[in-house]
Structure 1
Amino acid sequence: MNVVILGAGEVGFHIASRLATEGNNVSVVDMDEERLQVISDSMDVKTICGMASHPRILEAAGAANADLLIAVTTNDEVNMLACQVAHSLFKVPTKLARVREADYALHRDQLIGRDDLPIDVIISPEGEAAKVVMGRLNVSSALDAREFFGGEIQLVEFVVRPKSLLAGLSLMELPEVMGDLDVYVVAHEHNNRWTVPKGNTVLLSGDSIYVAVSRIQLDKLMIKLDMACHSPQGRNVMMVGGGHIGFKVASELEKAGAFVKLIEANGPRAEWLSDQFSNVVVIHGDALDQKLLEEENIDKMDDFLALTNDDETNILSSLISKRYGVPHVVTLVNRSIYTQLVRQIGLDVTVSPRLSTVASILSFVRKGRIHGMASLADGNLEVLEAEALETSAILNKPLKELDMPEDTVIGAILRDGKIIVPNGRVKVETHDHVLIVTTSASVPEVEKLFEVHLEFF
């Protein structure tokens, strides 16, 4: 596949890396020569320096032969215009654009279409990140929580506590301990290394795990593990940062009935925010001002959400809130260099718009019938939700006989609205939706199990 990527920032870099590794012909366009040099030194891709929306630059990038254009520059207007130029001049069949401005998103149905802006998919990093934040608020004792199968399956991350039922347990013993709870451990972290576990994997105190569990059994699982599962309703939440993500999250929390205090450093933005809400207290101030935090009763908060555009402010304010004893802290981290560091300093619950955006784009790019995709474990593992069709290679074999990569596991199957927690004897049937956890390197091999062959059409 010939792919043109516009923008060599964090998102563009990671998408280019993934697609180039999988054998695609990738060109990357950016105005920053240093960024392009970093990409050129890191992977086998073509780089072009220039304005992403200019016809001659798109032509140099190979737009005339491109199967896909991904516009992820930092400028919404450049992304949208580039899609229009790629469509009108080069007939690029598929175009994705990152659009951050909420005002555009509100009118996307009127702006995007055959006779309007020719964009096939609009990706909103803020929207994706806001979904993740809300998911983690709903399961506040967990480090991470993701929804699949339209919310029917939850992937929840926990730390194994010293006196937990799970401490010292091998995974083959898990069904005995869980009783009538159908759960499946799909990822395991020990000594800062994430792997897809086997039946003989032993869970030790301090390890982290991702568990696949059905939505209707999530509360039972939390109770069994002596963990809290709360609705945002009635919770006291302090937020810092009223940008696009903060605004979306505050809006959702207001609808859910939470008591929200939102601290915003920019005066005009704070004034604008105060006009948007009925039941959110907006405070113009510095998130690192200890006196302000004390005046606003930070020690009485159930949740603290650090959602500014500045990673350092988010990290420092989160550490301050921990010092005041806030039980649940969520930290937004934009730069990948911080992602691996924050957990080492005690900030366990993080959200990365970059990872959310990359996952959204790659889920659209994937071959076969991949309906959803997400990155877990700071990007070390991938989760795919795939549909099996009549010609898929995964059909009609017991799972234990499937030729799958070693670092891959099937965590759940959705069949006719019912969740099946798999064992080695289960077979995948036509139109089953299958939840698979694997490593980035094995994604192409897993995709082959779901590819649609020509005779299907």
Structure 2
Amino acid sequence: MRIIIVGAGEVGYQIAKFLTYEGADVVIIDRDGAKLRRISEELDIATIEAEGSDPSAFKEAGADKADLLLAVTNSDETNMIACLLGKAMFNIKRKIARIRNPDYFFNKELLGKSNLDIDPAINPELEAAEAVARLIENPFASEVIGFEQGKILVIGFKIPKDSPVNGKKLKSVRSLINQEFIIGVIERDENVIVPSGDDIIQEGDIVYMPIPREKIQEVAQSLGVMATPSKKIMILGGGRIGYYIANKMENKADIKIIEKDSERCKFLSKHLGKTLILHGDGADKQILLEENIQNTDTYIACSNNDELNIMASLLAKKLGAKKVISLVNRTDYVPLAHNLGIQSVLSPRLITASIILRYLRRGEVISLTAIAENKAEIMEIEVSNKSSLVGRTLKEGIFPKNSILGAIIRDDRIIIPSGDDLIRERDKLIIFALKDSIKEVEKLLT
């Protein structure tokens, strides 16, 4: 497969890094030579220093033979022109673009097949807001990923010191808490593992578990965490992400947005019906105290400044906010923020890269999400009649090392599997896999 990536920023880099594992034929185009040198030094792929809308650069990249174009620069206009070139001049079959401006993103006619033919367009701010909304509804979690239209959620959460499973072997936990569950991945400091029964759960571990939506409350309580949705929310920053979060959640919770820019405050007041808009600095200790930060269920730092978001989140946590969520674009800040004690850290760039990845997989992949700083993936797949999984049970050891089946979805039923469960054609499976086992998992699907 030949893939052209326009944009060598963080999203383009993460996708290119992933594709090197897959053995795809990749060319990346960007006008920034420094970004291209970074990629050339770290990854074995071709680079072209040029504007992302330059037809000669597309020709040099072999666009006439390309199967896929990914346009992920910081400019919507460059991304759209790149897709137009890919369609009109080189007949590239599939084009995926990052589109941030809502006037473009929600214009289905512009992006549709008869015009730019972008499929899909991905809005990082909107996707980040959706991810934050899931965390608000499940405040004990550090990450929430929905599958099967939200009927089953993969919850990532940090094990507290007083949890009944802290210090226990995994194989003893199910009987201890009297719940059916599987831990698919454990993130511990810099390490990520698919655990076995003899692995011991430790305080501070971030564990990822598939849980049917209707059982989240009881599973959370069994693990020593509370699952009551947030009702009082404070947001630092009224940019696009802050606006999207408030717009989605203001009918479910009391929301305050603290925004420095007076003109932006006017926009928010006009377009949000129930959210309280405050003109000021959402990282100012005095303002936070005046606005009763100690009674706030969730504080969300989503300004355009990564460092400010991290420091403001730490301040809000110190002042008594029950949960803090920090959004950072620089991916190297994600583990740092976690280590500083921020419960939930999201990167819109990583979210965007993760969404794009699902379109690059083989087999019957319905959706895919990268987790644990892209060191592992959760795949939702449908079992075809060609799959070698059909008619086999888990106790046969059918899944490769560093992968595990987390759930089976069959006729609207969700099964947390045991060794005797048989896999059938048309089952949907939730599979956890580390990077080194993904190719082996894919072989089972085709």
Residues 8-407 of structure 1 aligned to structure 2 (within 5 Å):
8-107=8-107, 109-179=108-178, 181-232=179-230, 235-256=231-252, 258-407=253-402
State the secondary structure of the residue aligned to 1:189.
strand
Of stretches 28-37 and 364-373 in structure 1, the one that deviates more from structure 2 is 364-373
Structure 2: distance between partners of 1:310 and 1:197: 36
The answer on whether the counterparts of 1:241 and 1:308 sit within 8 Å (CA) in structure 2 is yes
State the secondary structure of the residue aligned to 1:444.
helix
Structure 1: distance between partners of 2:272 and 2:159: 39
Deviations 1:328-356 (A, max 9, x none): 11000110111111111111211111121
State the secondary structure of the residue aligned to 2:69.
strand
The answer on whether the counterparts of 1:375 and 1:381 sit within 8 Å (CA) in structure 2 is yes
The AA in structure 2 aligned to 1:153 is I
Q: Normalising by structure 2, what TM-score?
A: 0.96
How many angstroms does 1:77 deviate by? 1.0
Q: Give 1:455's aligned residue.
A: none
How many angstroms does 1:204 deviate by? 2.8
State the secondary structure of the residue aligned to 2:182.
strand
The answer on whether the counterparts of 2:8 and 2:36 sit within 8 Å (CA) in structure 1 is yes
Q: Give 1:454's aligned residue.
A: none
How many angstroms does 1:288 deviate by? 2.6
The AA in structure 2 aligned to 1:138 is E
Structure 1 residues 142 and 120, CA gap change in structure 2 (3 angstroms):
closer
State the secondary structure of the residue aligned to 1:111.
helix
Structure 2: distance between partners of 1:101 and 1:337: 26
Deviations 1:181-205 (A, max 9, x none): 3211111234542200011112233
Structure 1: distance between partners of 2:184 and 2:74: 35
Structure 1: distance between partners of 2:329 and 2:266: 26
The AA in structure 1 aligned to 2:379 is L
Q: Give 2:433's aligned residue.
A: 438
Structure 1 residues 294 and 206, CA gap change in structure 2 (3 angstroms):
closer
The answer on whether the counterparts of 1:186 and 1:196 sit within 8 Å (CA) in structure 2 is yes
Structure 1: distance between partners of 2:111 and 2:344: 35
The answer on whether the counterparts of 1:102 and 1:244 sit within 8 Å (CA) in structure 2 is no
State the secondary structure of the residue aligned to 2:258.
strand
Work out the percentage of aligned pairs sharing the same amino acid: 35
Structure 1 residues 161 and 283, CA gap change in structure 2 (3 angstroms):
closer
How many angstroms does 1:359 deviate by? 1.0
Of stretches 117-126 and 85-94 in structure 1, the one that deviates more from structure 2 is 117-126
The answer on whether the counterparts of 1:101 and 1:244 sit within 8 Å (CA) in structure 2 is no
Of stretches 241-250 and 8-17 in structure 1, the one that deviates more from structure 2 is 241-250
Deviations 1:205-264 (A, max 9, x none): 3333222211111111122234222234xx1211011122111101011132x1111012
The answer on whether the counterparts of 1:287 and 1:313 sit within 8 Å (CA) in structure 2 is no
5+ residue gaps, structure 1: 452-457
The AA in structure 2 aligned to 1:34 is A
Tell me the number of residue pairs that the alignment of Structure 1 and Structure 2 aligns.
446
Structure 1 residues 202 and 136, CA gap change in structure 2 (3 angstroms):
same
Structure 1: distance between partners of 2:294 and 2:229: 20
5+ residue gaps, structure 2: none
The AA in structure 1 aligned to 2:159 is V
State the secondary structure of the residue aligned to 2:89.
helix
State the secondary structure of the residue aligned to 1:90.
coil
The answer on whether the counterparts of 2:303 and 2:309 sit within 8 Å (CA) in structure 1 is yes
The answer on whether the counterparts of 2:251 and 2:274 sit within 8 Å (CA) in structure 1 is no
The answer on whether the counterparts of 2:250 and 2:274 sit within 8 Å (CA) in structure 1 is yes
The AA in structure 2 aligned to 1:249 is I
Structure 1 residues 340 and 226, CA gap change in structure 2 (3 angstroms):
closer
